[in-house]
């Protein structure tokens, strides 16, 4: 499959080619497949059930007190933060011209693009009146004063932008030389537009909860939520890149050439460096916000301990592990730090959506996801991985571009 | 001035006026606002309420909701919230001055958080005061997250759900009728009128009976003012109100972010392009 360079000219060629590519490659009964396939199947059935039944119990545990659960808190809020690696890395590679990170750029952009497609797909499930979901786009009244209006448009535009960024790989796969040239020339423009959009919607996700002023615990509520969301998306995204890359490099090992394998350690150390700096900045901001808020008295409460655990256990400590890992060039440390950081981001985003949100509601009336919410979420994650794998096995994502398309 | 110059000037003038209209719609709108806008509202005097729940019954009848059982008062044992099928509820509070009944419903804020939250303008603030809901809603529930009074309720158990809450009897208002609850109240605990008038009325009741009331009209300034305003004999915190909501209209909590958007949109691409050019090597 590596030697495929034939150009596709006629429509008939195209159909035969796509047909051949649609067939599965590699072993079918892997552990991952055996676990994920039934979950995706069950998830698909449950999605139909949700559309037929509405959002109430037994589908979700959402209530009048807790309008948002894990479909918003995990899939959208956390998923989009994890997809932030795409805008950070395109900034480093295409704007700053740091060629070192070039080998992982396509996988990262692809991952970002798919994350947006699948996780914003979760919005569709979460919307009670999903058949109206195109209203903000088609102009059935524009709510231009709404933060969510901005976020919705940005999601859509960013998806298109990420697709343009990734499109040269598709053209190379299809052997479309002229189109590849045109698409390649769009990259810098798309990257700049994409970074601008990302800045605004990563922070915009935080701005969504600004009007829940007294419902969010004062240790978490600050007027700087949008800034905190933006900065945390930098290290959230890069930690995801480290995590995903670690797995990809094992699973797709035979696709990656010698040179890339050798440079990969350098790349990881570099990513760890950026994470450490961004996390220190984030921690510093959090401390500033805390001191200005004069919330000392709240620290010695259950929510205070929870706050400290998040800030120290899942920001400061992974930040130190990153620093140590970079110093010693210890890849294991960097990977551990990335996983801790990701856990911290999940906790942080869920805090804003249902943990520190209405913290005063007694335990018995609090939101906890149902098994259906969890299965559908897992199904979405697995489906994304399946599509990712399908593309990586066919297009030049991790493997070298075909001879005719090499840059410079 | 020759003819060509003259035509040019005229052309620019007309163009300028046309552009000016587009660029400064807020000024035009503000002028309109001064001419017609006066909100209506309801004054709730909790010292008069006897807890008969006839407002609940009238509300359910007016909006085709399941009728409540108002024959026994065991419902008062537990604090109730409004629901998607009960747009107003009366609760009983034990206070330093004995039992006090408080009617609760959407406050119809002057500058509602739910309206600012809505990305399709399904939540709408009518210029007469009513905050109403429309079917182009996508069901995202950001209005519920944003409302400081937790009033919008969602029909979770329907595949075709709606957001439900008090609409200050918008339909009846257009027919020239009073809100159902106001009409049903047997003791005039509720009074409908122009918001300015009922605020005056509330203040004058306090002034005339200074010992019967705490000297605060809830909703006068809270969250920028609401159309439902309340009088009470005890501090409002004792009868289920949050006293610390502040006087800032809730939409203002997002304006900081929204104002930053055009700046980022203009500055980011320029800065990024500049960085790209500055770091590019000569031979590229």
pLDDT confidence tier of residue B30, bands split at 50, 70 and 90: very low
Which one is predicted more confidently, A94 or B34? A94
Q: Give the CA distances from residue A135 to residues A143, B121, B230, B250, B251, in Å, rounded to whole numbers and listed in that order.
A: 10, 10, 38, 25, 22
Q: Which residues in chain B touch residue A60, judged by CB atoms under 8 angstroms apart? A: 156
Q: At residue B21, does pLDDT exceed 60?
A: no
Give the pLDDT mean for B245-254.
95
* B251: its two tokens: 């939409």
Q: What is the mean pLDDT of chain B?
A: 89
Which value does ipTM take for this structure? 0.92
Give CA–CA dist B100/B97, Å, rounded.
8
Q: Give the CA distances from residue A242 to residues A57, A89, A339, B167, B171, in Å, rounded to whole numbers and listed in that order.
A: 38, 12, 9, 51, 58
Give pLDDT tens digits for A228-269. 999 999 999 999 999 999 999 999 988 888 888 889 999 999
Q: Which residues in chain B touch residue A196, judged by CB atoms under 8 angstroms apart? A: 264-265, 268-269, 272
The pLDDT value given to residue B71: 86
Cα–Cα nearest to A68, from A357, A361, A380? A357
Do A145 and B116 count as a contact with CB atoms less than 8 A apart? yes
Angle at B146 between CA B78 and CA B40, to 5 degrees: 80
From A64, A129, A196, residue closest to B137, measured CB to CB: A129
The pLDDT value given to residue B233: 96
Q: At residue B238, does pLDDT exceed 50?
A: yes
Give CA–CA dist B92/B57, Å, rounded.
17
Q: At residue A183, does pLDDT exceed 60?
A: yes
Do A223 and B256 count as a contact with CB atoms less than 8 A apart? yes
Q: At residue B8, does pLDDT exceed 60?
A: no
The pLDDT value given to residue B282: 63
Cα–Cα nearest to A187, from A89, A289, A263, A60? A89
pLDDT confidence tier of residue B207, bands split at 50, 70 and 90: very high
Do A209 and B145 count as a contact with CB atoms less than 8 A apart? yes
Give the pLDDT mean for A116-128.
90
Q: At residue A211, does pLDDT exceed 90?
A: yes
Q: Tokens 């909006």, residue?
A: B63
Coil, strand, or helix at residue B268? helix
Residue A273 φ/ψ, nearest 5 degrees: -60, -50
Residue A113 φ/ψ, nearest 5 degrees: -60, -50
Give pLDDT tens digits for A27-81. 888 899 999 999 999 999 999 999 999 999 999 999 999 999 999 999 999 999 9
CA of B283, closest CA in chain A: separation in Å?
A: 12
When scoring B142, B152, B270 by the number of chain A Cβ atoms within 10 A, the one with the most, hence best to mutate, is B142
Name every residue whose Cβ is closer than 8 Å to that of residue A221 and which is 6 or more positions away in sequence. A212, A213
Q: Which residues in chain B touch residue A56, judged by CB atoms under 8 angstroms apart? A: 156-158
Give the pLDDT mean for A168-184.
92
> Is A140's Cβ below 8 Å from some Cβ in B?
yes
Residue A321 φ/ψ, nearest 5 degrees: -65, -40
Coil, strand, or helix at residue B194? strand
The pLDDT value given to residue B50: 95
**A174 close to A399: Cβ distance less than 8 angstroms:** no
Q: Which residues in chain A touch residue B158, judged by CB atoms under 8 angstroms apart? A: 54, 56
Which one is predicted more confidently, B135 or B11? B135
> Is A57's Cβ below 8 Å from some Cβ in B?
yes
When scoring A212, A229, A372, A408 by the number of chain B Cβ atoms within 10 A, the one with the most, hence best to mutate, is A212
CA of A137, closest CA in chain B: separation in Å?
A: 9
Which residues in B53-69 are b (16+ Cβ under 10 Å) and which e? bbbbbbbbebbebeebe
The span from the first CA to the last CA of chain B, in angstroms, equals: 54
Pairing of strands B40-45, B98-104: unpaired
Name every residue whose Cβ is closer than 8 Å to that of residue A315 and which is 6 or more positions away in sequence. A279, A282, A283, A286, A341, A344
What is the torsional sign of CA A95, A96, A97, A103? negative
Give the pLDDT mean for B223-251.
95
Q: What residue of A is the nearest CA neighbor of B250?
A: A211
pLDDT confidence tier of residue B4, bands split at 50, 70 and 90: low
Q: For residue B38, count other CB atoms closer than 10 A to its CB.
A: 12
* B83: its two tokens: 């629901």
> Is A48's Cβ below 8 Å from some Cβ in B?
no
> Is B247's Cβ below 8 Å from some Cβ in A?
no
pLDDT confidence tier of residue B36, bands split at 50, 70 and 90: low
Do B117 and A56 count as a contact with CB atoms less than 8 A apart? no
From A53, A64, A127, residue closest to B159, measured CB to CB: A53
Interface of B with A in 157-216 (CB under 8 A): 157-161
Burial, B210: exposed, middle or buried (Cβ in 10 Å; 0-12, 13-18, 19+)? Answer: exposed
CA of A371, closest CA in chain B: separation in Å?
A: 17
Angle at A382 between CA A58 and CA A372, to 5 degrees: 5
The pLDDT value given to residue B37: 65
Q: Which of A225-234, B8-17, B265-274 has the lowest mean pLDDT?
A: B8-17
Burial, A5: exposed, middle or buried (Cβ in 10 Å; 0-12, 13-18, 19+)? Answer: exposed
Maximum alpha-carbon separation in chain B: 89
Residue B209's region, left for phi above 0, alpha for psi from -120 to 50, else beta, is beta
**B55 close to B185: Cβ distance less than 8 angstroms:** yes
């Amino acid at each position: 499959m590596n030697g495929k360079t034939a150009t596709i000219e006629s429509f008939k060629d195209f159909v035969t080619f796509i047909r051949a590519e649609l067939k599965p490659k590699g072993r079918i009964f892997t552990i991952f497949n055996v676990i994920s396939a039934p979950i995706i199947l069950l998830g698909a059935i449950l999605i139909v059930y949700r559309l037929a039944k509405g959002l109430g119990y037994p589908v979700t545990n959402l209530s009048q007190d807790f309008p948002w659960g894990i479909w918003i808190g995990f899939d959208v809020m956390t998923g989009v933060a994890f997809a932030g690696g795409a805008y950070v890395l395109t900034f480093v590679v295409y704007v700053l011209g740091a060629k070192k990170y070039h080998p992982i750029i396509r996988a990262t952009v692809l991952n970002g693009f798919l994350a947006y497609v699948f996780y914003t797909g979760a919005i569709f499930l979460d919307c009670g009146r999903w058949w109206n979901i195109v209203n903000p786009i088609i102009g059935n009244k524009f709510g231009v004063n709404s933060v969510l209006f901005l976020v919705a448009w940005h999601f859509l535009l960013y998806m298109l932008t990420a697709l343009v960024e990734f499109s040269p790989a598709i053209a190379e796969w299809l052997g479309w030389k002229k189109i590849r040239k045109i698409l390649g020339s769009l990259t810098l423009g798309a990257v700049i537009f994409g970074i601008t959009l990302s800045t605004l919607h990563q922070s915009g996700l935080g701005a969504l909860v600004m009007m829940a002023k007294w419902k969010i615990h004062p240790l978490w509520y600050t007027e700087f939520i949008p800034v905190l969301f933006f900065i945390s998306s930098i290290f959230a995204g890069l930690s995801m890149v480290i995590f995903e890359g670690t797995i990809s490099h094992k699973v797709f090992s035979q696709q990656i050439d010698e040179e890339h394998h050798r440079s990969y350690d350098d790349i990881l150390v570099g990513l760890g460096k950026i994470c450490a700096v961004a996390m220190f900045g984030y921690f510093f901001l959090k401390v500033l916000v805390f001191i200005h808020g004069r919330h000392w008295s709240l620290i010695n409460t259950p929510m205070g301990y929870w706050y400290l655990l998040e800030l120290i256990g899942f920001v400061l400590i992974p930040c130190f592990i990153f620093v140590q890992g970079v110093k010693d060039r210890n890849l294991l440390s960097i990977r551990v730090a990335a996983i801790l950081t990701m856990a911290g981001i999940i906790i942080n985003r869920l805090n804003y959506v249902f943990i520190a949100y209405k913290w005063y509601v007694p335990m018995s009336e609090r939101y906890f996801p149902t098994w259906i919410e969890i299965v559908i979420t897992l199904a979405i994650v697995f489906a994304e991985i399946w599509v990712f794998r399908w593309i990586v096995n066919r297009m030049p994502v991790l493997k070298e571009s075909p001879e005719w398309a090499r840059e410079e | 001035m020759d003819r060509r110059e003259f035509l040019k000037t005229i052309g620019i003038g007309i163009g300028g006026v046309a552009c000016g209209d587009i660029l400064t719609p807020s000024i035009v709108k503000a002028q309109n606002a001064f001419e017609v806008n006066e909100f209506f509202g309801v004054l709730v005097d909790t010292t008069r309420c006897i807890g008969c729940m006839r407002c609940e019954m009238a509300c359910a009848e007016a909006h085709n909701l399941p009728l409540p059982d108002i024959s026994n008062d065991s419902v008062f044992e537990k604090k109730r919230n409004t629901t998607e099928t009960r747009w107003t509820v009366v609760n009983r509070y034990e206070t330093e001055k004995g039992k006090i009944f408080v009617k609760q419903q959407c406050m119809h804020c002057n500058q509602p958080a739910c309206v600012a939250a809505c990305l399709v303008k399904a939540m709408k603030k009518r210029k007469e005061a009513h905050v109403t809901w429309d079917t182009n809603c996508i069901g995202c529930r950001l209005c519920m997250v944003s409302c400081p009074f937790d009033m919008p309720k969602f029909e979770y158990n329907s595949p075709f759900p709606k957001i439900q809450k008090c609409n200050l009897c918008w339909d009846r208002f257009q027919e020239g009728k009073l809100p159902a609850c106001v009409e049903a109240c047997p003791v005039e605990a509720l009074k409908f009128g122009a918001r300015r008038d009922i605020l005056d009325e509330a203040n004058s009741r306090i002034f005339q009976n200074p010992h019967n009331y705490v000297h605060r009209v809830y909703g006068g300034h809270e969250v920028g003012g609401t159309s439902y305003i309340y009088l009470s004999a005890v501090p409002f915190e004792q009868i289920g109100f949050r006293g610390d909501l502040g006087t800032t209209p809730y939409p203002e909590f997002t304006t900081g972010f929204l104002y930053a958007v055009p700046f980022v949109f203009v500055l980011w691409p320029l800065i990024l392009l500049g960085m790209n050019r500055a770091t590019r090597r000569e031979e590229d």
